[in-house]
């Protein structure tokens, strides 16, 4: 144990003297925090620019179509009417109202509204709720007019809108609504998760290959240190760099970008420690399998960027299609980001992050086992 601690401290000091570590572990993360956080700060699920609904109303749709659009406006949609159906293609949300819309409804015939959306996720479900709400409200208004033996004209529908509602529904949240994080709340944790993996897979693995090429590991093999002490020391040094990265990101995120880490900071730290342990062990395993330093660096950088994209480091996984969300949560960065979102952004308790933390610790254990088995001195 004493040999492992000695090697860990010496190796950590050696790694911290390298300019590459300072650039990739501390310099670039700050730049990513600022630029990605600034660019995505305007992302919002409630802004008018994200609630444009393009509508094509066919000729002869009648007054009920206009009444439906009026109700959609009250549900925070910004209605953009287009003169022709092909013009809908330039919009994310598209609604087509057919000809004879009002006539078919009054004749008790089925009529079909066509709604299309280019993406899916939380906003797509919100669109479904709002459209259903507007349609049911219009149907309710038509029933009221029918019971009063009135025709659904523009005047009668407007008068009905102005009439006081005898029944008022009071609602309150039963839990925390999941609003996808944006700005620095997404950029700081996402960039931190990415750069931990990036440093461990590229520089952590590459430096191990360099030590093997320079004969440093061979000399350690000839020393009185046991194999377990050498592997533990190398693992501990790289894990120390990962922990320093976590501390740096959380402190700068709090002081410079006003990121709040929720009410359960200890659980946030536990998740990040599990993730750093996995990244460290995977980096050592890659360093043992790679033949050259450039091979380790290239594969590590490619894997880190690919996993970061899938795992929701660059954008919230909540805005991804459901299939991609499922795939994302199967990746280590996705597990970490999902747990962080639960703790920091969605107000969930520690129990919500337990599955992700346990999965990361399990993956770290498996990766550490194979890293120790495959560790090469030459």
Distances from the Cα of 365 to the Cα of 130, 226, 282, angstroms: 46, 21, 10
For CA atoms 283, 287, 291, 297, the dihedral sign is positive
Which tokens is 340 given?
Answer: 């962080």
CA angle 339, 340, 346 (to 5 degrees): 90
DSSP, collapsed to helix, strand or coil, labels residue 286 as helix
How many other CB atoms are found less than 10 A from the CB of residue 59? 6
What global pTM score does this model have?
0.70
Q: What is the pLDDT of residue 47?
A: 45
Our measurement of the distance from residue 267's CA atom to the centroid of its chain's CA atoms, rounded to an integer in Å, reads 19
> Taking residues 201-228, what's their average pLDDT?
91
Answer yes or no: is pLDDT of 205 > 70. yes
pLDDT computed for residue 166 by the predictor? 75
Average pLDDT over residues 269-291: 96
> Does residue 175 carry a pLDDT above 80?
no
SS (H, E, C) 23-83: HHHHHHHHHHHHHHHHHHHHCCCCCHHHCEEEEEECCCCCHHHHHHHHHHHHCCCEEEECC
pLDDT on residue 39: 86
Tell me the mean pLDDT in the region 173-188.
80
- Domain(s) labelled CATH 3.40.1710 in the chain stretch across 48-162
Q: What are phi and psi of 263, to 5 degrees?
A: -90, -10
Instruction: Give the angle subtended at the CA of 145 by the CAs of 143 and 149, to the nearest 5°.
Output: 115
- Convert the pLDDT of each residue in 24-57 to its tens digit: 999 999 999 999 999 887 555 444 446 899 999 9
Rounded to whole angstroms, how far apart are CA atoms 204 and 311? 21
As a whole number of angstroms, the distance between CA 112 and CA 228 comes to 69
C-alpha dihedral sign at 24, 25, 27, 33:
positive
Output Rg (C-alpha) for the chain, integer angstroms. 28
Average pLDDT for the chain: 90
Q: pLDDT grade, residue 176 (50/70/90)?
A: low
For residues 377 and 221, what is the distance between their CA atoms, to the nearest angstrom? 7
The pLDDT of residue 45 is: 45
Task: Let me know if domain 48-162 sits in CATH 3.40.1710.
Answer: yes
Q: How far apart are CA 247 and CA 138, in angstroms?
A: 55
**What does DSSP say about strands 52-57 and 78-81: parallel, antiparallel, or unpaired?**
parallel
Assigned token pair, 131? 């459209």
Q: pLDDT, tens digit, for every residue of 222-270?
A: 888 999 999 999 999 999 999 999 999 999 999 999 999 999 999 999 9
pLDDT in tens, 315-363: 999 888 889 999 999 999 999 999 999 999 888 899 999 999 999 999 9
pLDDT of residue 206: 92
Give the Cβ contact number of residue 150 at 10 Å.
14
Characterize the bridge pairing of strands 93-97 and 52-57: parallel
- pLDDT attached to residue 46: 45
SS3 179: coil
pLDDT at 172 over 80: no
Percent of the chain with pLDDT strictly greater than 90: 69
Percent of the chain predicted with pLDDT > 70: 95
76-132 pLDDT, tens digit each: 899 999 999 999 988 989 999 999 999 999 888 999 999 998 766 556 778 889 999
The pair of structure tokens assigned to 36 is 């990605």
């Amino acid at each position: 144990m004493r040999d492992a601690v000695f090697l860990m401290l010496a190796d950590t000091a050696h790694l911290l003297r390298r300019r590459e570590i300072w650039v990739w572990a501390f310099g670039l993360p700050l730049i990513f925090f600022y630029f990605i956080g600034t660019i995505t700060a305007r992302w919002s699920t409630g802004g008018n620019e994200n609630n444009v609904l393009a509508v094509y109303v066919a000729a002869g749709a009648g007054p009920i179509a206009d009444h439906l659009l009026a109700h959609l406006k009250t549900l925070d949609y910004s209605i953009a009417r287009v003169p022709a159906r092909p013009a809908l293609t330039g919009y994310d949300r598209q609604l087509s109202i057919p000809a004879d819309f009002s006539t078919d409804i009054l004749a008790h015939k089925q009529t079909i509204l066509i709604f299309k959306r280019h993406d899916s996720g939380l906003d797509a479900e919100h669109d479904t709720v709002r459209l259903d709400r507007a349609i049911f409200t219009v149907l309710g208004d038509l029933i009221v007019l029918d019971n009063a033996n009135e025709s659904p004209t523009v005047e009668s529908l407007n008068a009905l809108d102005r009439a006081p509602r005898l029944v008022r529904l009071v609602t309150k949240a039963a839990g925390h609504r999941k609003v996808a994080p944006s700005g620095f709340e997404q950029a700081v944790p996402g960039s931190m998760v990415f750069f931990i993996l990036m440093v461990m897979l590229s520089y952590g693995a590459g430096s191990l290959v360099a030590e093997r090429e320079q004969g440093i590991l061979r000399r350690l093999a000839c020393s009185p240190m046991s194999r377990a002490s050498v592997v533990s020391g190398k693992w501990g040094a790289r894990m120390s760099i990962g922990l320093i990265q976590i501390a740096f990101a959380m402190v700068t995120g709090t002081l410079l970008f006003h990121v709040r880490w929720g009410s359960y900071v200890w659980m946030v730290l536990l998740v990040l420690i599990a993730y750093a342990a996995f990244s460290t062990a995977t980096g050592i395993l890659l360093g043992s399998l790679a033949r050259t330093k450039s091979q380790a660096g290239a594969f590590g950088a490619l894997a880190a960027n690919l996993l970061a994209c899938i795992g929701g480091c660059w954008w919230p996984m909540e805005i991804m299609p459901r299939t991609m969300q499922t795939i994302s949560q199967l990746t280590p960065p996705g597990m970490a980001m999902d747990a962080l979102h639960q703790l920091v952004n969605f107000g969930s308790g520690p129990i919500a992050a337990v599955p992700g933390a346990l999965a990361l610790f399990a993956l770290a254990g498996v990766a550490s086992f194979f890293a120790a088995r495959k560790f090469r001195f030459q």
